[in-house]
Amino acid sequence: MNTIEIERRFLLANDTWRESAAPPLLLKQGYLSVEKERTIRVRIVGEQAWLTLKGYISDLTRSEFEYPIPLADAENILANMCPFKMEKLRYLVNYQGFSFEIDEFFGENAPLIIAELELPSEESEFPRPNWLGEEITADGRFTNAYLSKHPFGSW
C-alpha cells in the first residue's frame, strides 16, 4: 500500500522532553539503498520487523511503502545485505495532541538526538514545545539513511 509520509525534523534545545517521554524502544536499522531518490530499509523493533521503501517527493514529503517481514528474515538481511546500519532509542512524547518521536542515536552518531513529527500536510500547523530547537528538515545530512552512511561523529 502506498502512503505518503510528511515529516518535520528538529534538533533539541534542551532535555526537558524526557520528563514526559514514554519508555524508549530500541530500533535496529539497516539500509540496502541510501540514495536521496530512494531508500530501502530493514527495521527491527523487539520481535517485529519491517521492510520499508521510501521515495523522495520533497524535503518534507516522501512516498512510503512498509511491509511486516519475518524477524528471522530481517535479521538475515541486516547481517548479510545491509552495508549501512544504525541503532537508536526512540521515545514518544505527546504534546498538545501531537506525537513527537525523539531519536537518541548510538555509536558513531552519538550524541545526536532528533525530534520528528509526522503531519497530515506540508502546511499543517503544530505546537512548538520549549525543548524543540532548530528545524533541520531541509538538511539531508540529518536523514537516517544519510546518517547510516555518514555518521554524525565524522562530520
How is the chain split into domains, by residue range?
3-154
Strand bridging mode 113-118 / 132-135: unpaired
Q: What is the DSSP letter of 22?
A: P
Give this prediction's pTM. Answer: 0.94
Say how many Å lie between the first and final Cα of the chain, rounded. 36
- Cβ 140 vs Cβ 134: under 8 Å: no
Strand bridging mode 3-12 / 132-135: antiparallel
Which residues are marked as active site?
Answer: 31
Q: Which residue has the cell 521503501?
A: 53
Which grid cell sits at 82? Answer: 545491509
Q: What is the pLDDT along the chain (155 residues), one digit of tens a residue?
A: 559 999 999 999 999 999 999 999 999 999 999 999 999 999 999 999 999 999 999 999 999 999 999 999 999 999 999 999 999 999 999 999 999 999 999 999 999 999 999 999 999 999 999 999 999 999 999 999 999 999 999 99
Q: Which CATH number fits domain 3-154: 3.40.50.970, 3.40.50.300, 1.10.3720.10, 2.40.320.10?
A: 2.40.320.10
Which grid cell sits at 10? Answer: 528538529
